[in-house]
Amino acid sequence: MPLSKAEWLSLEKKADELRRLTLDTTFWAGSGHIGGGLSVLDILTVLYHKYMNIKVDQPKWEDRDRLILSKGHAGVAYAPLLCDLGFNDKEQLKTFNLTNSKMGIHLDSNKVVGVDASTGSLGHGLSIAVGTALAARVLKKDYKTFCILGDGECDEGANWEAAMTAAHFKVTNLISFVDRNKCMIDGRTEDIMNLEPFCDKWASFGFIVKEIDGNNIKEICEAVDFAYENKTDKPVMIVANTKKGCGIEFIEDDYRWHYGAFDEEKYEKAKVELDKTYKKRVERAEKEGA
Amino acid sequence: MAGGMTYTAVDSTSLSTSEFYGKALIDLGRAHPEVVALTADLAKSTKIGEFQQEFPERFFNVGIAEQDMFGVAAGMARAGLVPFLSTFSIFASLRAADQLHTDLCYQNVNAKVIATHSGTSFGQAGSTHHAIVDLAVARSIPNLTVLCPADGYETYNAVMAAYNTFGPFYIRINRGFDRVLYKDFDYGFEIGKAVTVHEGTDITVIATGSCVFQALQAAEFLEKTDGLKVRVLNIHTIKPIDREAIIKAAVETRRIITAEDHNVLGGLGSAVAEVVVESGKGCAFKKLGLQDQFAPIGLHEDIMSIIGIDSNGIINAVRETMKMDFELDEDWDDEV
């Protein structure tokens, strides 16, 4: 599914709306995981708005494509997307993190419509995604399963158990991403626990690895197309180099914005930054799109 | 010989407890195409080899990776399959505790954990392979139903009942051969309902798993030698526990002993104590099991004897508890 310029521009528009809604949700909630939310947002936007086969009026449709957001703390970006799609009322975002809200930092799959797995405890998502994908094989269904991991999360050993399982069972109906924003709570990933050579690690575990700019919509689309066309018996892992806090320059690539709060002044400043980001994104799409 | 069998079954009475599970699983597999089996390199030990042989496309051995197995099962369950996961109790309850808690129970998926080699039943393997805290872990996780069958027949019944009830289950069974408690499958197994295996009015022994047979032997012995009427309750369901049967025992016999192949902290004894205390019905109370200590290495029956959960230990505990005296008045100061 090659990306037309019109489609690219439309995806940029959607990503821009969702960045704003993520910022708003963080502001309403008082604080949130905005850094990792914004780094993964372009990937989420592309998957839900270009590729995934879902029915908003039938959220439990058994043939739907699934997405397991293993980095569950990105709920502050995922909830706006699911509300915007119509799975949940957008007004719920104003209650994000509040007592008795259906939505908190880590989204509950039994409370928030459209969430395929309750994640948050890191290192769980890839196994769940492998199980979801294997179930399609047993049930003779052709849905696809997407999984998005955080890079810091890859310190958890359970991911590598799951990686072995995905490769061993040749789970090619699973398409995985790592949101490689190179930041974690206590610092840069390479300072806290070295992950490199990261792509080599996934390759040696039996994946076909595609490294991309995960905040470039065209590259994300090309990577998914690549995975769709995969005829080998190896699963695809897309290592998406991203920027934590992507779109708001004063928080970008700063691990201290793993979890943060915006006062009125910062909130207004961030909105101006998002305007600039959108302008640049549109210019790039206009220039590079076909 | 079936793929994973390490010995041949001659007839149903000579099957080990895990083999009863294997039999139940294959019966379910034949009747229900959505049933899948998972293991973490313990297909042989957990006796699910026959399922593997008959349904290779529905059998998944994830290697020595219990955490992964639980996550994979959660994904499968949410997609509509009914996974049965088998591994040793210690790994099911501790190694994969986070996945048990979050992926299976928080998500409330329809997955069934068959935790084998429970308690001290893998005696010679030592404390790395004794599951002495699994009931404490499992029963404190919301949404999880916790079963601890007493023999092979009850294991079969428990597995079938788990299939027929939506939600996550933790079924704890022993390694090897359990003493046969029941004559057949037909004694009225029902989740959450204790089975009275011996009637009595003087004292109640509330037991679970391998201790039920021991308690029954103790009751029969004490009836002959001491003329005691010992009630024996088989609590095969640790959660939801049969509060009614426990309170009835406290009121009618006023003496309760619990017996479990588990630490006395957090398991059956604790569960029964909670019910009794909350009921406001006082009674003499003694918990048999590991007294907050690790068990020695040895044969299962020897360990049961050493920690006092075999028939001999239960007999001694009953005699001791019978010495406690009670009055029917409301004056508690002169009680034991």
CB neighbour list of residue B137: distance below 8 Å, 6 or more residues apart: B93, B94, B97, B100, B266
CA angle B80, B81, B87 (to 5 degrees): 140
CATH number of B12-172: 3.40.50.970
pLDDT tens readout for residues B299-335: 999 999 999 999 999 999 999 999 987 666 666 565 5
Q: Is A206 on the interface with B (CB under 8 A)?
A: no
User: Band of the pLDDT at B6, cuts 50, 70, 90?
Assistant: very low
**Measured between CA atoms, how close is B97 to chain A, in angstroms?**
12
Distance of alpha carbon A256 from the chain centroid: 20
Above pLDDT 70, what percent of chain A? 100
Q: Is A134 on the interface with B (CB under 8 A)?
A: yes
Residue B7 reports pLDDT greater than 50: no
Question: Hey, what are A230's tokens?
Answer: 């995969």
**Measured between CA atoms, how close is B235 to chain A, in angstroms?**
32
Cβ–Cβ gap B108/A158 under 8 Å? no
pLDDT tens readout for residues B100-113: 999 999 999 999 99
Residue B1 reports pLDDT greater than 70: no
Sequence-ordered strand ranges (E) for A145-281: 145-150, 174-180, 183-184, 187-188, 208-213, 236-241
Question: What does the pLDDT read at residue A127?
Answer: 98
Spell out the alpha helix ranges (H) of B182-229: 211-225
Question: What does the pLDDT read at residue B13?
Answer: 59
Q: Is A130 on the interface with B (CB under 8 A)?
A: yes
Q: Is A64 on the interface with B (CB under 8 A)?
A: no
**Measured between CA atoms, how close is A83 to chain B, in angstroms?**
21
Cβ–Cβ gap A126/B71 under 8 Å? yes
Q: Is A123 on the interface with B (CB under 8 A)?
A: yes
The average pLDDT across B22-38 equals 96
Residue B152 reports pLDDT greater than 50: yes
The average pLDDT across B189-203 equals 98
Residue B292 reports pLDDT greater than 60: yes
Task: Collect all residues of chain B within an 8 Å Cβ-Cβ radius of residue A123.
Answer: 67
Q: Which residue of A has its CA nearest to B61?
A: A165
Q: Which helix (H) or strand (E) holds A91?
A: none
Residue B8 reports pLDDT greater than 60: no
Q: Please state the domain extents for chain B.
A: 12-172, 195-322
How many CB atoms neighbour CB B126 within 10 A?
14
The span from the CA of A63 to the CA of A234, in Å, is: 23
Question: What does the pLDDT read at residue A264?
Answer: 96
Residue B80 reports pLDDT greater than 70: yes
Lowest mean pLDDT among A124-128, B1-5, B143-147: B1-5
Phi and psi angles of residue A261, each rounded to the nearest 5 degrees, phi first:
-125, 145
B87 forms beta bridges with B115
Q: Please state the domain extents for chain A.
A: 5-288
pLDDT tens readout for residues A257-288: 999 999 999 999 999 999 999 999 999 999 99
The span from the CA of B276 to the CA of B112, in Å, is: 30
Q: Is B219 on the interface with A (CB under 8 A)?
A: no
Answer CATH for B195-322 from 3.10.290.10, 3.40.50.920, 1.25.40.10, 3.20.20.100: 3.40.50.920
The span from the CA of B68 to the CA of B147, in Å, is: 23
* B73 contacts B38 by C-beta, under 8 angstroms: yes
* A194 contacts A17 by C-beta, under 8 angstroms: no
Phi and psi angles of residue B86, each rounded to the nearest 5 degrees, phi first:
-120, 130
Question: What does the pLDDT read at residue B331?
Answer: 63
**Measured between CA atoms, how close is B127 to chain A, in angstroms?**
24
The average pLDDT across B31-41 equals 97
Cβ–Cβ gap A121/B79 under 8 Å? no
Three-state SS at A32 = strand
CA distances from A5 to A13, A218, A284, A287 (A): 12, 10, 10, 9
Residue B250 reports pLDDT greater than 90: yes
Q: How many CB pairs under 8 A join A and B?
A: 111
Question: What does the pLDDT read at residue B333?
Answer: 60
Q: Which of A110, A129, A134 minimises the CB distance to B60? A: A134
Task: Collect all residues of chain B within an 8 Å Cβ-Cβ radius of residue A135.
Answer: 75-76, 79-81
User: Band of the pLDDT at B10, cuts 50, 70, 90?
Assistant: very low
Mean pLDDT of chain B: 93
CB neighbour list of residue A188: distance below 8 Å, 6 or more residues apart: A182, A255
Residue B163 reports pLDDT greater than 70: yes
Q: Which of B63, B103, B106 minimises the CB distance to A128? A: B103
Residue A227 reports pLDDT greater than 50: yes
Residue B246 reports pLDDT greater than 50: yes
Residue B5 reports pLDDT greater than 90: no
Residue A198 reports pLDDT greater than 70: yes
Residue B92 reports pLDDT greater than 70: yes
CB neighbour list of residue B246: distance below 8 Å, 6 or more residues apart: B194, B206, B233, B256, B272, B275, B276, B279
CB neighbour list of residue A105: distance below 8 Å, 6 or more residues apart: A32, A33, A73, A75, A76, A97, A120
Sequence-ordered strand ranges (E) for B79-202: 82-88, 112-116, 145-147, 169-172, 195-198
Cβ–Cβ gap A134/B72 under 8 Å? yes
Question: Hey, what are B323's tokens?
Answer: 């010495």
Cβ–Cβ gap A131/B79 under 8 Å? yes
How many CB atoms neighbour CB A70 within 10 A?
31
Cβ–Cβ gap B75/A126 under 8 Å? no
Task: Collect all residues of chain B within an 8 Å Cβ-Cβ radius of residue A110.
Answer: 107-108
Q: Is A104 on the interface with B (CB under 8 A)?
A: no
Cβ–Cβ gap B71/A131 under 8 Å? yes
Give residues 22 to 51 of B whose Cβ lies within 8 Å of A: 34, 36
Sheet strand arrangement including B203-207: B195-198, B230-234, B203-207, B255-263, B284-290
Cβ–Cβ gap B78/A169 under 8 Å? no
Question: What does the pLDDT read at residue B15?
Answer: 81
Q: Is B268 on the interface with A (CB under 8 A)?
A: no
End-to-end CA distance of chain A: 13
Q: Is A129 on the interface with B (CB under 8 A)?
A: yes
Question: What does the pLDDT read at residue A214?
Answer: 98
Residue B45 reports pLDDT greater than 90: no
Question: What does the pLDDT read at residue B335?
Answer: 54
Question: What does the pLDDT read at residue A203?
Answer: 98
User: Band of the pLDDT at A256, cuts 50, 70, 90?
Assistant: very high
Question: Hey, what are A95's tokens?
Answer: 């209650």
The span from the CA of A29 to the CA of A4, in Å, is: 37
CATH number of A5-288: 3.40.50.970
**Measured between CA atoms, how close is A114 to chain B, in angstroms?**
13
